[in-house]
Amino acid sequence: MLDSILLRIAKSSILREFNGSYDFDKNKLLESYTFLKEDGASFVTLKYDEHLRGCIGSVVAHRSLMSDIAANAVSAAFYDPRFHQLHENELPHISIEVSVLSEPTLLEYEDFDDLLKKVVPDIDGLILKHQGYQGTFLPQVWEQLPSPKEFLGHLSMKAGLNPSVYAEHPTIYRYRVEAVEGKFDEIVELEQKKEELA
């Protein structure tokens, strides 16, 4: 079970964008929750009354988990190209989900039929890579696309390809996630950083 501190980091990072005078003490946070110092890959998903409102993340760990969540929360709120920037008046309707990804592993398969048998619905997140194109779906997408054929078909389109690409045997990686979710207004923001005395 993931710690609610991840939601608090995501919320507080978004609040910091709305209020330039607010900031939280990152060093204090890292002392209290040492696992946040380790490299981690995360996705931050925002929903407005259960409808997608932004989703940005990393599939490969390349910075500390705390930095990754903070950056992805801000990007999901303000820089997801599918949506306009989040406004403060939307916050009462917003929920946040933070997903922490396992390290992706290569999924070996013979052909499309074999791939359909090997993917695990509701559990697997998948990454498709082919000739410079790439796309990923979190396991949560299985809720909208419950059959492996649908899931893989839409994944190919998300990568900018089409379902016929599977005849070319694209590279597929799988990963798992742990996720925690909460309503924006119910998540406790992090304590304001105390100003250092000169």
Report pLDDT digits (tens) over 10-38: 999 999 999 988 999 999 999 999 999 99
Mean predicted confidence (pLDDT) in 132-154: 96
pLDDT at 85: 97
Q: Which residues pair with 54 in a beta bridge?
A: 46
| The model's pTM | 0.90
Q: What is the CA radius of gyration of the chain?
A: 18
Given a cut of 50, is residue 197 above it in pLDDT?
Answer: no
How many whole angstroms separate alpha carbon 143 and alpha carbon 159?
Answer: 19
Polymer length of the chain = 198
Can you list the domains of the chain with their CATH numbers? 5-102+177-186 (3.30.700.20), 105-175 (3.30.1490.150)
Q: Which long-range contacts (CB under 8 A, 24 or more apart) does 30-34 make?
A: 30/66, 33/3, 33/5, 33/66
Q: Which amino acid is it at 53?
A: R
Q: Is 43 helix (H, G, I), strand (E, B) or coil?
A: strand
Q: Convert the pLDDT of each residue in 48-101 to its tens digit.
A: 999 999 999 999 999 999 999 999 999 999 999 999 999 999 999 999 999 999
